[in-house]
Amino acid sequence: MMRGLNYASAGAGIIFSSGSELGQHISFSQQIQQVMDTFQQFILTMGEHAAADHISNSVFYISIGTNDFIHYYLPDVSGVQSKFFAWRFTQFLAQTMKQEIKNLYNANVRRVVVMGLAPIGCAPYYLWQYNSQNGECVKPINNVILEFNFAMRYAVDELNKELVDANIIFCDAYTGSMDILKNKEQYGFSYTDTACCGFGRYNGWLMCLSSGMACRNATNHLWWDQFHPTSAVNEILADNVWSGLHTDMCYPMNMQQMVAQRVTMSDDAINRYPNQA
């Protein structure tokens, strides 16, 4: 537990009901509550000062939001598109994220990596659904993703100004992914529109149901299935988050620069901790 924990839940989104049709999952707010419960365990085992120091110098990586579009907004669940224009919806998501990060800050969290969303308008499912010609990305969907990333980056800027000693970075997965798309040969990808595993045009119609449906070499595919990139893509993006190895996609710094800056908690901040969790 001291080396790291993963609170992610498959199908979860920022909104509680996002992905509910996929079965039971733990929403973002519930995941944050699990984090708070862990902090209480740290206090019991380490003591308040040691727990506060450990938490403040840990890195919290938040990557969520795609399912809010794939499984809620774009399918127009409950007529959400008639109630919220895209910009209002992305603002709502960003403000919800901002408040949860503030909740973490009040529990002595100081270092947070916030991932933006990838260009899901280029995902095989939407290429199939929108009958894309020559694998061209669906611009209206990508425009919504760009709006979310813009709103989230602005929220991160606000948090860094509002919260003393906070070191929050925003990493734009859209920028990193589009760099791969534009320079696919350089990165070693042969297929940037067709999924490795699936069925139908672009392998986007039917999800990957068995290993027998998969291609022989996933490393030269950008997409593994209808929506998810391959591990080869994730490795490139991870290198960018850590050091900007291939392209700069994190602001105002990368993760390597973040972890080099040790956080020193004041006694006042530490003494506030038991009342916040």
* pTM score of the predicted model: 0.90
Say what the pLDDT of residue 108 is: 95
Q: For the chain, what is the domain count?
A: 1
Closest-CA residue to 31 (of 120, 111, 96)? 96
The mean pLDDT of the chain is: 91
HEC letters along 226-243: CCCECHHHHHHHHHHHHH
What are the tokens at 211?
Answer: 């290993």
CA gap 206, 25 in Å, rounded: 22
| pLDDT higher than threshold 70 for residue 266 | no
Asked if 113 contacts 104 with a C-beta cutoff of 8 angstroms, the reply is no
Say what the pLDDT of residue 125 is: 97
Say what the pLDDT of residue 275 is: 44
Say what the pLDDT of residue 277 is: 37
Position 189 in a domain: no
Position 169 in a domain: yes
Q: How confident is residue 211, by pLDDT bands cut at 50, 70 and 90? A: confident
> Helix, strand, or coil here: 216?
coil
Q: What is the pLDDT of residues 58-117, one digit of tens each?
A: 999 999 999 999 988 999 888 899 888 899 999 999 999 999 999 999 999 999 999 999
* Cα end-to-end distance, the chain, whole Å: 18
Position 198 in a domain: no
Position 108 in a domain: yes
Q: What is the pLDDT of residues 155-183, one digit of tens each?
A: 999 999 999 999 999 999 999 999 999 99
CA gap 212, 151 in Å, rounded: 41
Position 132 in a domain: yes
Structural domain boundaries, residue 86: 20-175+248-275
Using DSSP bridges, classify how beta strands 167-171 and 250-251 pair: parallel, antiparallel or unpaired: antiparallel
| pLDDT higher than threshold 90 for residue 119 | yes
Position 66 in a domain: yes
CA gap 277, 117 in Å, rounded: 29
Q: What is the pLDDT of residues 213-242, one digit of tens each?
A: 999 999 999 999 999 999 999 999 999 999
Position 40 in a domain: yes
Say what the pLDDT of residue 137 is: 97
Position 4 in a domain: no
Give the single-character DSSP code of 71: I
